[in-house]
């Protein structure tokens, strides 16, 4: 309701400003600023500046009028509007630009040049440009998540906002020279160009959520320090993937429906460390060849070719499984009696008892994470927010591993004492193949001014697995598998 009212207010404001613009005198000459000077204006206290083309605008007075909510326009504060407007088509209207001009305060300095690419020795110098809304948890390698404000705005995460988890520099791949190697025991081998991968196998499309094992790690590190990137709740995103089924490629390469004993399919990326060792991971053979597990060799993401950060030209997408197995920039698929020998398969991405520390950890005692446990988080309101009295809308996402549909999300406004079931929205999936998250929403009856709420969510999946109440008992030294109830405290004022 509030957003709708703001929307109406903003439209009224458009009309008023258009009348005033018509009476205005010719445009004055404006002062000239550098991008660095613009970047200093990121909060209402410092004034909120943005750029569009070569122009600089002070939109401080518009922030609260923004139809999509103040939090959304603040994501662009201190930088360019274009990457945000590209995501939200509603801005492609003449009156939006006209409205913006009212706020013009300067021009960008003509001497303003893009940052010099002086990092020829920097292995990350070839990394692609990224969307400014991403919250960067590590620049080299690049690891970033969409802000919670945008995470559940849409069911499919725009490619530019999809969380990025790179272990190494982004390889520069010549699509024309690209070959995918499929190998197995006994010298069986296949080499596929990109046109061959596209042409020889039917394109299969799957909507699947990928989640990093470290999603929500910051909550775990508050219990006790852990080793790992400080992911908030955004190391999870959803896309519509298109590509060849791994099953079809394996059968084409001569591998059968079933193999006696325990077999695995190992993946290697084109990304490699300074010593040339590539990123690698594996999944059980049964999942790779299953007609219902929908494992893809994907070359499309939301209808476009894969962005460089997400594995151009080909990546694996293993629905229902930890993101670490969905190897990007895929160069090699190998059928093997053993799991991938990669560091990331053998000595990382495993869970341990809270008493295990770096002195005592023995990675051989725990299985490599494949399917992830049931998960959910609150994206709205944000922690520490002041919410107005009256009806309160709480929003978030929920997902579970292994294709297990989320069947219920319970929400509490009193720290977990009483619960209500939220409304769920998502795509209808075949049983056992619910690879995508559900978005959920609860409209809570009137909350009273002057109170403090502890909002909590917990999800239930089709196996009736639930999230644990608290973080400490699932703490582990690597900070993975953080899926306790998500808790957000807000004040009503």
Phi then psi dihedrals of residue 194, to 5 deg: -65, -45
Edge-first strand order for the sheet with 264-272 is: 189-193, 179-183, 330-336, 264-272, 278-284
Q: Which of 217, 349, 397, 487 is catalytic?
A: 349
Query: What are the DSSP E strand ranges found in 20-170?
Result: 32-33, 42-43, 47-52, 55-58, 104-108, 135-138, 143-145, 164-165
Is 486 a known active-site residue? no
- Select the span of 39-47, 99-107, 152-160, 406-414 touching a copy of itself (CB under 8 A): 406-414
User: Does 420 interact with a copy of itself (rule: CB under 8 A)?
Assistant: yes
Angle between helices 94-101 and 2-23 (to 10 degrees): 70
Q: Are 208 and 239 in contact (CB under 8 A)?
A: yes
Q: Which of 17, 35, 91, 382 is catalytic?
A: 91
- Select the span of 215-223, 334-342, 428-436, 445-453 touching a copy of itself (CB under 8 A): 428-436
User: Does 286 interact with a copy of itself (rule: CB under 8 A)?
Assistant: yes
For residues 346, 241, 171 and 199, what is the CA-based torsion angle, rounded to 10 degrees? 110
Q: What is the DSSP letter of 463?
A: T
User: Does 262 interact with a copy of itself (rule: CB under 8 A)?
Assistant: yes
- Select the span of 179-187, 204-212, 236-244, 412-420 touching a copy of itself (CB under 8 A): 412-420
Q: Are 237 and 146 in contact (CB under 8 A)?
A: yes
Q: Are strands 55-58 and 47-52 parallel, antiparallel or unpaired?
A: antiparallel
Which candidate, 398, 71, 69, 368, places its Cα nearest to that of 233? 398
Of residues 12 and 430, the one with the C-beta less far from a copy of itself: 430
Instruction: Quote the least distance from Cβ 320 to a copy of itself, whole Å.
Output: 9
User: Does 416 interact with a copy of itself (rule: CB under 8 A)?
Assistant: yes
Instruction: Quote the least distance from Cβ 345 to a copy of itself, whole Å.
Output: 15
Partners of 107 in beta bridges: 32, 55
Is 66 a known active-site residue? yes
Instruction: Quote the least distance from Cβ 293 to a copy of itself, whole Å.
Output: 11
Q: Where in 213-242 is the site for a copy of itself (CB under 8 A)? A: none
Q: Are strands 179-183 and 330-336 parallel, antiparallel or unpaired?
A: parallel
Chain mean position to CA 171: 20
User: Does 430 interact with a copy of itself (rule: CB under 8 A)?
Assistant: yes
Token pair in block for residue 111: 């001497």
Q: Which of 212, 247, 264, 486 is catalytic?
A: 212
Spell out, one character per residue from 131 to 170, where the chain touches a copy of itself: x when CB under 8 A holds, - when not: ----------------------------------------
Among 458, 478, 486, 487, binds a copy of itself (CB under 8 A): 458
Length of the chain: 493
User: Does 283 interact with a copy of itself (rule: CB under 8 A)?
Assistant: no
Of residues 418 and 491, the one with the C-beta less far from a copy of itself: 418
Spell out, one character per residue from 348 to 387, where the chain touches a copy of itself: x when CB under 8 A holds, - when not: ---x-xxxx---------xx-xxxxxx-------------
Instruction: Quote the least distance from Cβ 416 to a copy of itself, whole Å.
Output: 6
Instruction: Quote the least distance from Cβ 403 to a copy of itself, whole Å.
Output: 11
User: Does 407 interact with a copy of itself (rule: CB under 8 A)?
Assistant: yes
Q: Are 330 and 318 in contact (CB under 8 A)?
A: no
User: Does 464 interact with a copy of itself (rule: CB under 8 A)?
Assistant: yes
Q: Where in 467-486 is the site for a copy of itself (CB under 8 A)? A: 467-470, 473-474, 481
d(CA 393, CA 395): 7
Q: How many residues bind a copy of itself (CB under 8 A)?
A: 48
User: Does 446 interact with a copy of itself (rule: CB under 8 A)?
Assistant: no
Q: What does each C-alpha distance from 55 to 52, 101, 109, 112, 405 come to in angstroms?
A: 5, 9, 9, 12, 48
Of residues 60 and 420, the one with the C-beta less far from a copy of itself: 420
Is 41 a known active-site residue? no
Per-position DSSP letters for 141-180, written without gaps between them: TTEEE--HHHHTSSSSPPGGGS-EE-SSPPP---TTT-EE
Q: Are 299 and 348 in contact (CB under 8 A)?
A: no
Of residues 249 and 481, the one with the C-beta less far from a copy of itself: 481
Active-site residue set: 66, 91, 165, 212, 349
Q: Which residues bind a copy of itself (CB under 8 A)?
A: 258, 262, 284, 286, 291-292, 351, 353-356, 366-367, 369-374, 401-402, 404-405, 407-408, 410, 416, 418-421, 430-432, 458, 460, 462-470, 473-474, 481
């Amino acid at each position: 309701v509030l957003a709708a009212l703001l929307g109406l207010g903003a439209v009224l404001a458009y009309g008023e400003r258009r009348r005033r613009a018509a009476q205005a005198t010719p445009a004055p000459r404006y002062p000239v600023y550098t991008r660095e000077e613009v970047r200093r204006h990121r909060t209402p206290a410092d004034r909120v500046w943005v750029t569009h083309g070569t122009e600089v605008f002070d939109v401080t007075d518009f922030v609260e009028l923004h139809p999509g909510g103040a939090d959304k326009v603040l994501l662009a504060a201190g930088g360019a509007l274009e990457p945000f407007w590209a995501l939200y088509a509603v801005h492609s209207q003449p009156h939006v630009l006209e409205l913006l001009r009212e706020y013009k305060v300067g021009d960008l300095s003509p001497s303003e040049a893009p940052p010099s690419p002086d990092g020829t020795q920097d292995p990350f110098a070839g990394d692609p440009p990224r969307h400014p809304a991403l919250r960067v948890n590590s620049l080299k390698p690049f690891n970033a998540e969409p802000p919670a404000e945008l995470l559940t705005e849409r069911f499919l995460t725009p490619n530019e906002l999809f969380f990025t988890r790179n272990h190494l520099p982004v390889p520069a791949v010549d699509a024309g020279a690209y070959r995918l190697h499929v190998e197995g025991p006994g010298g069986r081998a296949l080499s596929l160009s990109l046109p061959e991968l596209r042409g020889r196998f039917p394109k299969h499309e799957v909507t699947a959520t990928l989640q990093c094992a470290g999603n929500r790690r910051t909550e775990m590190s508050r219990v006790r320090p852990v080793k790992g990137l400080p992911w908030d709740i955004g190391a999870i995103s959803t896309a519509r993937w298109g590509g060849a089924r791994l099953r079809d490629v394996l059968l084409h390469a001569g591998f059968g429906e079933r193999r006696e004993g325990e077999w695995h399919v190992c993946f290697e990326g084109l990304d490699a460390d300074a010593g040339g060792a590539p990123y690698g991971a594996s999944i059980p053979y049964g999942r790779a060849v299953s007609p219902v597990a929908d494992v893809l060799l994907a070359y499309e993401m939301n209808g476009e070719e894969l962005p460089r950060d997400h594995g151009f030209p080909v990546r694996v997408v293993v629905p229902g499984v930890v993101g670490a197995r969905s190897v990007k920039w895929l160069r090699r698929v190998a059928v093997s009696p053993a799991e991938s020998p990669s560091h990331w398969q053998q000595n990382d991405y495993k869970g341990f008892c809270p008493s295990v520390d770096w002195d005592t950890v023995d990675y051989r005692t725990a299985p490599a994470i494949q399917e992830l446990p049931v998960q959910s988080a609150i994206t709205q309101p944000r922690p520490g927010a002041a919410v107005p009295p009256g009806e309160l809308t709480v929003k978030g996402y929920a997902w579970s591993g292994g294709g297990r549909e989320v069947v219920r999300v319970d929400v509490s406004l009193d720290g977990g004492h009483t619960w209500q079931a939220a409304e769920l929205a998502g795509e209808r999936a075949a049983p056992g193949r619910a690879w995508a998250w559900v978005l959920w929403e609860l409209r809570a009856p009137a909350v009273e001014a002057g109170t403090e709420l502890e909002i909590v969510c917990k999800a239930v999946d089709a196996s009736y697995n639930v999230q644990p109440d608290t973080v400490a008992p699932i703490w582990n030294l690597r900070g993975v598998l953080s899926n306790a109830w998500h808790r957000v405290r807000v004040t009503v004022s």
